[in-house]
Amino acid sequence: MMKKKQSIIHSIAAAPHIFWSVLFIILPLLIVVYYAFTDGEGNFSFENILSLGEYAEIFGLSLELSVIATFVCLIIGYPLAMIIAKSKPKHQKIFLMLLMLPMWTNLLIRTYSIMAIFDDGGILNSLLGTTFHFIGTKGAVIFGMVYDFLPYMVLPIYTCVSKIDKHMWEAASDLGCSPTKVLTKVIIPLSMSGVISGVTMVLVPSISTFYISQKLGGGTFELIGDTIERQFVTGALNVGAAISLVMMILILISLSVMNKFSDSSDGGIIV
Amino acid sequence: MKKYLSGIYLTLIFGILYIPIITLIFFSFNSANSTAVFEGFSIKWYIELFNSPETFEALRNTLILAVLSSLIATVIGTAAAEGIYRMRNKLAKSAITSVTNIPMMNPDIVTGMSMMLFFVAVVAGISTVFELTYEDIGFFAMLIAHTTFCLPYVILSVLPRINELGNSLTEAAQDLGCTSMQAFFKVKLPNIMPGVISGMVMAFTMSLDDFVISYFVGSSNFQTLPLLIYSMTKKKVTPDMYALSAIIIVTVFLLLIISNFKTGKKIEGRRREARRK
Amino acid sequence: MKKTFFLIFILLLLVSSVFSCTVSEESDDGEEISGNTVTLNVYNWGEYISDGFDGSMDTNAAFEEYFNENLAKKYGFYVKVNYTTYATNEEMYQKIKSGAGSYDIVVPSDYMIQQMIQNDLLLPFDATTLSNFSNVNEKFKDSPYYDPDNMYSVPYTYGMMGVIYNSALVDEEDASEKSWGLLWNEKYSKKILQFNNLRDAFGSAMYYLGLDINSTDLSVWHTALDKLSEQKELVQGYVNDEIFNKMTTASAAVAPYFAGDFLTMAYQNEDLSFYYPKEGTNYFVDAMCIPRSSRNPEVAKEYINFMLSEEPAVANALYVGYASPNDLVVQNEDYIAGISELHEDAMDILYGQTPDEVNASYPYNPCYQSLDTLSMNDSVNTLWESLKTENSTELWVHVSCGVIVVGVLSLAIYNTAIRKWRSKDYRRRDREIAKAKKAK
C-alpha cells in the first residue's frame, strides 16, 4: 500500500518535465529531423546525410580538441573540487561563487579580454617584452574551452565529494589504506557519478562550441559548431540540420558507451 | 605542507580565472574608445552607460529572463530528478535522460533555430483562430527556450546528489510517520539542497550568458544584453559594455562578502550558544 | 550559499522591477490625444546610430520628440521607437524571412536589398515621395543596381574597403604600390589578417586577380580559392571585428577593412595608414528599407524622412564614421570639423575619390550581389570550407587525444574486468560456504 502511493507521487514528479520535454525538445527536434531529410524545396532526400563525409575531418578535430579540453578540466577540476569540499563550510560557498562569477560577464567580453592579454601585441607580451604567439593556435582554443567550462566540471564533482561522509576517509585509513589508496579505492569510486556528470557537461558543449574557436583560434581552422553556424546563417538549413542530427546521434552513442563502462550501480545519469 | 599546497593551487586557478576579469575592469576605465589600447583613466564609459536607456532596458530584460527561467527550470528539474531516480522501468529512465540532454548536446544555433521554427509554426497555428503575432508571445517563447536549455544543467547537478543520498533516509522518515511528500520536503530536499542550488546557479548563469538561442527565438520587442553586445561586432564592442560587466561583477562580489560576513557571525554565535549549553 | 544566492536573487528582482517602472513611465504621456502610443520597431546594425554619447544628438529620441510634437495630431497617436540591433545581413534576413520578427525599419546592405526584393520581403514605398529625398546625392538616386527605381530604399551610409597597414612595421615602398598584393607579401608572414567571411575574403582575392566578384562560373571561384590558400600560410588569422584591437595594438601589420573604421583605428594608433587598392575594391551602400511585415509604414516613412534632415544625418554620420550619401552632411561644417578630428585626411579618405574613380581599372560591377541570387551559395560555401580545413592538424593534438582515449578506455576495461573477476570469486566462495554448511 505504502509502496504504491509513493510510486504515484513520484511518477507525478517527473511528469511536468516529461510534458515539457515532449513539447519543447522533441517537437523542435522533429523540425531538425524534417530539415535534415528534405532538400531546399521540401522534397524528401538523403542527399544531406550522404554529403556529410566531407565534414569528417572537421568533426574529428572538434572531437579531439574537446576531449583534450575535457581531460584538462578534469585534471584541474577534480583537485579543485576536493580542496573546496574539504575547506571550511564558510569558505566553500565563496569559492563556488567565485568559480561561477566570471561567467556572469558576457562570453564575448571575456573572450576579448583573453585576446587582449595573450595577443601578439597584447598585455602579456608587452609586459614581458616577448613575442609569444598564442592566439590563433589550437592551444588557445583548448584554453578557452577550459576557461569557460571549468565550473561545469567542478560543481558536480564538488556536489558528490562534499556528500561523502567524512568518516569514510578515517575508516579507510584505519583499515590500513595509504592516502593514495583511500583516494583511488574510496573517494574516486564514490564521486564517479559527479565525474561523469562533469565530463558530460564539459565535453558536450565544447564539441559544439563555435564562438571560442572563431575568436581564439584566429579562424584559421573550423570546428563543427562553426560549420553548422555558417550553414544556418548562409541559409543552408538542410545541411546544417543534417550535421547536427548526426552529431547528436554520435554524442548519444559515445555517452552511452561511457556510461556502460562506468559504475553501473548508480548509472542512468546520462543515458 | 598540504594546506600550503592546496592554498597555492587555489590561488593559481582563481588567478587564471580572474586575470581576464581584472583586464576587463581595467579597460572599462579607459579614456579611449578601445578595449585593447589603454590611454588614460576616465569614468566616461560609466557615465555613458547610465545615459543609455537601451542598455538598461536590455539589462532589465536579461535579469527578468534569467531569474524566471532559472527558477522554473529548478522546480521542474528537481522534481524530474526525483522522478527519474524513482523510475523502475530502465528503458523509460534512459529515454528520459537522453531526451533531457538534447538541448545541451545540440549546438545552440540548432536549438535556437528549431525553437524559432517551432514557435513560428505555433503562432501560425493559433492565429487561424485568434489574432496573434510573434511579438505577443515573444517573451514567453524566450522564457520557454531558456528554461528548456537550463533544464539539463539542473537535472545533471541534482541527480548525482539524489543518487548519493539513496533511499534509506526518506524510508526512515516514512517509518517514523512522515507522508512521502513530507519525507521529500523535510528530509530529502534539505539534503540535496547544495545540488539544487548549484543547478540553479548554473541555470541562471547559462541564461544570463546566452546569445544564440535568444537571437533566434527573441522577438523585436525583447532585446537582451548579450544580443546588444553581439550586435556591436559589425563595428566593435565599446568599453561601456565592459563598464556594465564590471559593475555586475563588483556588485555580486561585494554582496558575497557582506552576506558571508553576516552568516559567519551567525555561525560563530550559534557555536557560542552551543558551547554555553 | 543558499542565503547568498537568495539575497542576490531578491536584489536582482528588485533592480529589475525598478527598471520596469522607469521604462513604463516614459511611455505614459499620451493624454491630449485619444489614440495610444504606437511602437516603431527599428532594426539596425549595432553601433550604427547616434545615441547621445558625449553630448551628441540621440537621434531616436529626437525623432520621438519631433513626431510627438509635430505629427501626433495628424496621425492621432504618439510614437515610441523600439530600437534593436543585429550584426550581419544574413542574420537579419533569416529573422525577417522566418516571420519571427516584424520590423518597421531595417538597414540592409545593397546585395541584401536585392535579395529581399526578390523574395518579396520589402515594401515598395517610393522614396522619391519623401520631402527630404532631395538631400540624397544624385549618384545614389541614379538607378542603383539593387533598387533601380528608388522604390524600396533610401541610402544611409556607403563606403569602400581598403588596406590598412602599420607604417612602423611595413616598408613604405611595399605600401606605396597600393595593391592588394600587400596581403600576399611574404615579408609580413603571420602579420597579415584576412576577413572571416567568405564574400569579403574571396572578394579581396578576386579584385587582386581582376576577376568578376559576381561570376557564376565556378572555375573563376576556384582561381580565387587557389590564391587564398596561397595566402593561408601567411595569415595570422581570419577575423572580423577583432581587426580593431589587433591593428591598434600592432599585433598584426596588414589588414583589409572599411575606410570609416580605419578612421577610428587611426585615432588610437597614429602609425596606421590606409589606401584604396589600385585594382579596385568593394563598394557598399547600406540603406533604410521598410519590410513588408511593417505595421506602421507611414510612421516608418516619417522616420526615414527625419533621418535625412540635416541635424540627425550629421549626428549619425559622425557617430558611424562611414561616408554619408547626404549632400547636407558633406557640406556641414560641424561634420567636417568633427570627422577631421579623427584623422586629418578623413574627408579626403571618405569623399576624395568617388567609388567609380577608385574602381576605374576594375572592369566589373564592384558591388557584391547576393550569392543566393547568383545561385552560387552552396558551391562557394564548399570552397570556403575546403580553405578552412586544408591545414594539417598538429601532431600533438592527435597524440595527446589518443593517449587520453586509450588511457581512459584501458582504465575502464581494467576496472570492469576486475569487478567481474571479483564477483565471480565471491560467488565461488559463496558456493563453497554453502557446500560446507550442507556437508555439516
Which of A28, A164, A247 has the CB atom closest to B114's CB atom?
A: A28
Using one digit for the tens of pLDDT, what is the confidence trace for A77-114? 999 999 999 888 888 888 888 898 888 888 889 999 99
Higher pLDDT, A250 or A260: A250
3-state secondary structure at position C351? helix
CB contact under 8 A, C241 and B217: no
B114: domain range? 50-238
The CATH number that applies at residue B132 is: 1.10.3720.10
The answer to whether the beta carbons of residues C353 and C276 sit under 8 Å apart is yes
- Per-residue model confidence (pLDDT) at position C214: 94
Instruction: Please say whether the dihedral angle defined by the alpha carbons of residues C304, C310, C312 and C318, taken in this order, is positive or negative.
Output: positive
Using one digit for the tens of pLDDT, what is the confidence trace for C162-180? 999 999 999 999 999 999 9
Distance CA A119, CA C252 (A): 10
Contacts of residue B104 in chain A, CB cutoff 8 Å? 200-201, 204-205
Residue in chain A nearest C89 by alpha carbon = A233
Long-range pairs of C197-200 with CB within 8 A, sequence gap ≥ 24: C197/C88, C197/C240, C198/C380, C198/C381, C198/C383, C198/C384, C199/C368, C199/C371, C200/C161, C200/C256, C200/C282
All three cell numbers of A45, joined, read: 532526400
User: Smallest CA–CA separation between C413 and chain A, in Å?
Assistant: 7
Which of A10, A122, A240 has the CB atom closest to B86's CB atom?
A: A10
User: Smallest CA–CA separation between B118 and chain A, in Å?
Assistant: 6
- State the best of A66, A120, A146, A222 to mutate against chain C, taking most chain C CBs within 10 Å: A120
Average pLDDT along chain B: 85
Inter-chain CB pairs, A–C, below 8 Å: 106
Mean pLDDT, rounded, for A198-211: 85
- Per-residue model confidence (pLDDT) at position B177: 85
Percent of chain B with pLDDT over 70: 95
Cβ-based neighbour number of residue B71 at 10 Å? 16
Specify which of A175-184, C121-130, C402-411 reaches the highest per-range mean pLDDT.
Answer: C121-130
The answer to whether the beta carbons of residues C245 and A119 sit under 8 Å apart is yes
Distance CA A154, CA A79 (A): 9
User: Smallest CA–CA separation between C388 and chain A, in Å?
Assistant: 5
Higher pLDDT, C85 or A142: A142
What burial class does residue B277 get, using C-beta atoms within 10 Å of its C-beta: 0-12 exposed, 13-18 middle, 19+ buried?
Answer: exposed
Contacts of residue B64 in chain C, CB cutoff 8 Å? 16, 20
Higher pLDDT, B273 or C385: C385
Which of A11, A122, A123 has the CB atom closest to B83's CB atom?
A: A11
Which of A13, A90, A247 has the CB atom closest to B82's CB atom?
A: A13
Instruction: Please indicate if any CB of chain B lies within 8 Å of the CB of C229.
Output: no
> Does CATH number 3.30.1490.20 belong to domain C159-284+358-389?
no
Which of A138, A214, A234 has the CB atom closest to C394's CB atom?
A: A138
Which of C91, C246, C249 has the CB atom closest to A233's CB atom?
A: C91
- State the best of B16, B93, B156 to mutate against chain A, taking most chain A CBs within 10 Å: B156
> CATH assignment of A55-261?
1.10.3720.10
User: Read out DSSP for A22-72?
Assistant: IIIIIHHHHHHHHHHTB-TTS-B-SHHHHGGGGGHHHHHHHHHHHHHHHHH
Distance CA C211, CA C219 (A): 11
User: Smallest CA–CA separation between A108 and chain C, in Å?
Assistant: 11
Contacts of residue B194 in chain A, CB cutoff 8 Å? 159, 162-163
Residue in chain C nearest B119 by alpha carbon = C100
In this structure, CATH architecture of domain C22-157+286-351: 3-Layer(aba) Sandwich (3.40)
Contacts of residue B252 in chain C, CB cutoff 8 Å? 8
User: Smallest CA–CA separation between A269 and chain B, in Å?
Assistant: 7
- Per-residue model confidence (pLDDT) at position A225: 86
Matching CATH topology for C22-157+286-351 and C159-284+358-389?
Answer: yes
pTM, 2 dp: 0.87
Which of B32, B51, B120 has the CB atom closest to C99's CB atom?
A: B120
Distance CA C200, CA C217 (A): 18
- Domain-located, residue B194: yes
Using one digit for the tens of pLDDT, what is the confidence trace for B27-85? 999 988 888 888 889 998 998 888 888 888 888 899 999 999 999 999 999 999 988 88
Are β-strands C235-239 and C192-195 bridged in parallel, bridged antiparallel, or unpaired? parallel
Percent of chain C with pLDDT over 70: 92
Residue C34, pLDDT above cutoff 70: no
User: Smallest CA–CA separation between B15 and chain C, in Å?
Assistant: 22
- Per-residue model confidence (pLDDT) at position C21: 47
- Per-residue model confidence (pLDDT) at position C317: 95
Contacts of residue C86 in chain B, CB cutoff 8 Å? 231, 234
Contacts of residue B106 in chain A, CB cutoff 8 Å? 32, 208, 244, 248
Percent of chain B with pLDDT over 90: 25
Using one digit for the tens of pLDDT, what is the confidence trace for C255-298? 999 999 999 999 989 999 999 999 999 999 999 999 998 989 99
Using one digit for the tens of pLDDT, what is the confidence trace for C221-233? 999 999 999 999 8
> Binning pLDDT at 50, 70 and 90, where does residue C412 land?
confident
CB contact under 8 A, A67 and C88: no
Distance CA C53, CA B35 (A): 17
3-state secondary structure at position A262? coil
Least-confidence region, from A88-92, B2-6, C7-11: C7-11
The answer to whether the beta carbons of residues B155 and A201 sit under 8 Å apart is no
- Per-residue model confidence (pLDDT) at position B99: 84
Mean pLDDT, rounded, for C407-431: 87
What ipTM was assigned to the predicted interfaces of this complex? Answer: 0.85
Higher pLDDT, C215 or B258: C215
Least-confidence region, from A53-62, A211-220, C3-12: C3-12
- State the best of B21, B84, B114 to mutate against chain A, taking most chain A CBs within 10 Å: B114
- Per-residue model confidence (pLDDT) at position A139: 93
- State the best of A8, A72, A101, A134 to mutate against chain B, taking most chain B CBs within 10 Å: A101
Residue C202, pLDDT above cutoff 90: yes
Contacts of residue B100 in chain A, CB cutoff 8 Å? 17, 21, 25
Are β-strands C78-86 and C37-45 bridged in parallel, bridged antiparallel, or unpaired? parallel
Contacts of residue A31 in chain C, CB cutoff 8 Å? none
All three cell numbers of C23, joined, read: 521604462
Using one digit for the tens of pLDDT, what is the confidence trace for B83-137? 888 887 778 887 888 888 788 777 777 788 788 888 888 888 888 887 777 777 8
**Could you tell me which chains touch chain C, where touching means 3 or more CB pairs under 8 A?**
A, B
Mean pLDDT, rounded, for C419-435: 89
**Could you tell me which chains touch chain B, where touching means 3 or more CB pairs under 8 A?**
A, C
Distance CA A200, CA B157 (A): 11
Domain ranges of chain A: 55-261
- State the best of C22, C40, C47 to mutate against chain B, taking most chain B CBs within 10 Å: C47
3-state secondary structure at position B163? helix
- Per-residue model confidence (pLDDT) at position C182: 96
Counted domains in chain B: 1
Exposure class string for C66-85: b at 16+ Cβ within 10 A, else e:
bbbeebbeebebbbbbbbbb
Reference B40, options B24, B50, B26, B21; nearest CA is B26
CA R_g for chain C: 30
- Domain-located, residue B9: no
Q: Torsions phi, psi of A252, nearest 5?
A: -60, -45
Residue C32, pLDDT above cutoff 70: no
Domain ranges of chain C: 22-157+286-351, 159-284+358-389
Percent of chain C with pLDDT over 90: 65
CB contact under 8 A, A156 and B160: yes
Return the residue matching grid coordinates 518597421: C104
- Domain-located, residue B149: yes
- Per-residue model confidence (pLDDT) at position A259: 67
- Per-residue model confidence (pLDDT) at position C28: 42
Using one digit for the tens of pLDDT, what is the confidence trace for A15-35? 888 899 999 989 988 988 888
- State the best of A184, A234, A259 to mutate against chain C, taking most chain C CBs within 10 Å: A234
Q: Which helix H or strand E contains A14, and what residues bound it? A: helix A2-21
Of chain A, the end-to-end C-alpha distance in Å amounts to 31
The answer to whether the beta carbons of residues C380 and C208 sit under 8 Å apart is no
CB contact under 8 A, C412 and A97: no
Contacts of residue B199 in chain C, CB cutoff 8 Å? none
Inter-chain CB pairs, B–C, below 8 Å: 149
CB contact under 8 A, A96 and C1: yes
> Binning pLDDT at 50, 70 and 90, where does residue C376 land?
confident
All three cell numbers of C3, joined, read: 542565503
Contacts of residue C244 in chain B, CB cutoff 8 Å? 34, 36, 236
Q: Torsions phi, psi of A270, nearest 5?
A: -105, -55
DSSP state for residue B52 in the 8-state scheme:
-
